[in-house]
A = this chain, B = another copy of it.
Amino acid sequence: MTQDITFYFDFASPYAYFAAQRIDALAAAHGRTVRWTPVLLAALRQATGSPLAPEVPLKWAYVQRDLERTARLHDIAYRQPPGFPRFLLEPGRAMLWIRQEHGDAIATAFARNCFSAYFGDGVDIGDVAVLQGIAAALGVDRAALAAGMVAPAIKQLLKQESEHALASGVFGVPFVLADGAAFWGFDRLPHLQAQLASH
């Protein structure tokens, strides 16, 4: 009952953004907390041999429409960010540095605000100045963040989180591990809910 739920995401994934909008409230309704863990989707997909959605033209047009419909059906603010889709290393690195220096709560708030800025408001979270602004609102020093997030140990840590996730059976995002069970995709949050309710 008291174990944490782990939520794996990549800041570049809109489905992860949708899950990010819901996961904490869902967990809290069952007296649980969530550990937010950034990973690199590209590293996970490589391991399964699955192409990323934007690499399959037939599928990509469909996914774009599915994103709009999913957002509408679940009443989540969503707009396709400029330059989407793209790889995003910066916010994950920034989050991990913040987690190391300021703890999980501030790091999670930072991640949540990054997601909303990117997919809700179309703000470029690949821009370090933007990340500094989001972090500063949470009391994080701008200069320390800019220096810390590019330290080799932090860059390495993001890769390690992806490797650890993969070793735990995580092969996509969003992904949730709870009480030994795995849930892949925003559309599986009802399954997670059923599992939490059954305990």
Question: Copies per complex?
Answer: 2
Given A56-B50, A59-B48, A69:B171 Cβ within 8 A: no
Find the B residue at minimum CB distance from A198: B72
Instruction: Report whether A56 and B48 are in contact in the complex, using a CB–CB cutoff of 8 Å.
Output: yes
Given A51-B49, A182-B65, A58:B187 Cβ within 8 A: no
Q: How far is the CB of A129 from chain B (nearest CB, A)?
A: 38
List, sorted by A's number, 21 A–B pairs whose CB atoms are closer than 8 Å: A47-B58, A48-B51, A48-B56, A48-B59, A49-B51, A50-B50, A50-B51, A50-B59, A58-B169, A61-B169, A62-B169, A62-B182, A65-B181, A65-B182, A66-B188, A66-B191, A69-B191, A69-B195, A70-B191, A73-B191, A73-B194
